[in-house]
DNA sequence: CACTCATGTACAC
DNA sequence: TGTACCTGAGTGG
C-alpha cells in the first residue's frame, strides 16, 4: 500500500530491525538471486526514503533500490521468520527480525552514479525536511497540465500518490482540472503545507486519515464508517457516495490512466 | 475457478 | 495514449 509515507515507515523499520548488524539476504522466488548473493552477510548502514523509493546502503557501499510500484508489499516482523510462502523476491533476516518483499516494481543494486541519477529526477519530498517546495512551484507555475496530474508526477513532487492527491485537493477546495499555471502561489503553499502535515501523520500512524474532526461521522451526526483502505478520507474511492461536507455525490473519472475522485460542489463546478 | 482491481512507473508508438 | 510489468485481495459463478 505504497504512497511515500509507507516507504518512510519502511526505511525506519529497516534501521530498527537490521541497522548496524549483519543481514542474511535471500531471494526465495529467485528473481533477485544474484543481488541477494552479493548482499548476503553485509551490514546495513543506512536506510532512506526519497518519495516512494527505498534506498538501503550496506557496508561495502552497495545500494539496494526498492520501489514497490502498485503491487509491491512488505511483510516485516520479529524473529523467527515464517516459512517462505508465495513469491518472495527478497528476504532479509537478522537478529532483529525479517522483511519479505513481494511484487516490487524495482529491486536492484545501484551504482553510485545511478543513485544520483535517480535522486536528480525526483521533485521535493514533503516528508524530507530539507525539501524545497519552490522547486516544485517552478514547474507547476509554468505548466498547462492539470494540478491533479502534476501532483502525481514524481518529478514535480515525490511521495504523494492517488489518495493524497485526491484528498489534498479536496481539503483545499481546488478544482482538479485547474492548470498549474492557473494555480496561485498561495494555493501551492497551502497544498505543500497540507501534504507535509498529512503525510507526517501517515508516517506516525501507518494509515491515511484526512477527515477533519468537524467532518467525522460523529461530528456530523451520521453513522460511523471505515474506508476499505484502512483510513478515513473525504473522496478517495467514494464514488457516488455523499460528500462528507455537502452531501453531493462524489465523482470519479479516469485521468492519465488513474482514477481521480472529487466533489464537484466543494471543489468548484466544471 | 475465472475474473477484476489496486495507494505505480517506464517505455512504445 | 496504450500496454507491460507483477502479486494478492476480493468478487462472482
Residues lying close to strand B (Cβ under 7 A), chosen from 33-92 of chain A, are 51-52, 67-71
Nucleotide nearest to A104 (CA to C1'): C6
How many Å does it take to go from CA A257 to C1' B12?
16
Predicted local confidence at residue A270, as pLDDT: 46
Mean pLDDT of A173-179: 97
pLDDT, tens digit (0-9, with 9 covering 90-100), for A218-231: 888 877 776 666 67
Q: Which three cell numbers stand for residue A208?
A: 491515511
Predicted local confidence at residue A224, as pLDDT: 74
Rounded Cα–Cα distance for residues A188 and A165 (Å): 13
Predicted local confidence at residue A261, as pLDDT: 97
Residues lying close to strand B (Cβ under 7 A), chosen from 113-152 of chain A, are 152
Does the CB of A31 fall within 7 Å of any strand C atom?
yes
pTM for the whole thing?
Answer: 0.95
Predicted local confidence at residue A159, as pLDDT: 98
> Contact at 8 Å (CB) between A137 and A105?
no
The burial of A165, by beta-carbon neighbours within 10 Å (0-12 exposed, 13-18 middle, 19 or more buried), is given as buried
In the predicted structure, residue A152 carries a pLDDT above the cut 70: yes
Does the CB of A154 fall within 7 Å of any strand B atom?
yes
Mean pLDDT of A242-255: 94
First to last CA, chain A: 31
How many Å does it take to go from CA A58 to C1' C12?
47
Residues lying close to strand C (Cβ under 7 A), chosen from 39-98 of chain A, are 69-71, 73, 86-87, 89
Q: Which three cell numbers stand for residue A92?
A: 532479509
DSSP helix/strand/coil, A143: coil
User: Looking at the C1' of nucleotide C5, which residue has the nearest alpha carbon?
Assistant: A105
Q: Which residues of A are catalytic?
A: 2-3, 52, 258
Amino acid at each position: 500500500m505504497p504512497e511515500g509515507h509507507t516507504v518512510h515507515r519502511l526505511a525506519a523499520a529497516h534501521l530498527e530491525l537490521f541497522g548496524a548488524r549483519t543481514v542474511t539476504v535471500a531471494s526465495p522466488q529467485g528473481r533477485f538471486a544474484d543481488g541477494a548473493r552479493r548482499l548476503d552477510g553485509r551490514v546495513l548502514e543506512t536506510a532512506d526514503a526519497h518519495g516512494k523509493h527505498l534506498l538501503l546502503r550496506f557496508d561495502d557501499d552497495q545500494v539496494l533500490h526498492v520501489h514497490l510500484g502498485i503491487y509491491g508489499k512488505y511483510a516485516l516482523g520479529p524473529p523467527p521468520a515464517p516459512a517462505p510462502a508465495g513469491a518472495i523476491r527478497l528476504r532479509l533476516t537478522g537478529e532483529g527480525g525479517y522483511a519479505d518483499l513481494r511484487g516490487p516494481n524495482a529491486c536492484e543494486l545501484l551504482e553510485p552514479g545511478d543513485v544520483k541519477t535517480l535522486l536528480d529526477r525526483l521533485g521535493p519530498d514533503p516528508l524530507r525536511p530539507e525539501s524545497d517546495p519552490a522547486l516544485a512551484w517552478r514547474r507547476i507555475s509554468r505548466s498547462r497540465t492539470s494540478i491533479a496530474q502534476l501532483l502525481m508526477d514524481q518529478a514535480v513532487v515525490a511521495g504523494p500518490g492517488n489518495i493524497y492527491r485526491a484528498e489534498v485537493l479536496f481539503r483545499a477546495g481546488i478544482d482538479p482540472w485547474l492548470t498549474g499555471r492557473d494555480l496561485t502561489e498561495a494555493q501551492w503553499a497551502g497544498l505543500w503545507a497540507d501534504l507535509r502535515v498529512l503525510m507526517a501523520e501517515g508516517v506516525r500512524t501507518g494509515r491515511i486519515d484526512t477527515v477533519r474532526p468537524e467532518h467525522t461521522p460523529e461530528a456530523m451526526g451520521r453513522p460511523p464508517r471505515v474506508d476499505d483502505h484502512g483510513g478515513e478520507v473525504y473522496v478517495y474511492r467514494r464514488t457516488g457516495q455523499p460528500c462528507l461536507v455537502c452531501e453531493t455525490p462524489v465523482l470519479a473519472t479516469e485521468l492519465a490512466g488513474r482514477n481521480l475522485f472529487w466533489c464537484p460542489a466543494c471543489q468548484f463546478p466544471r
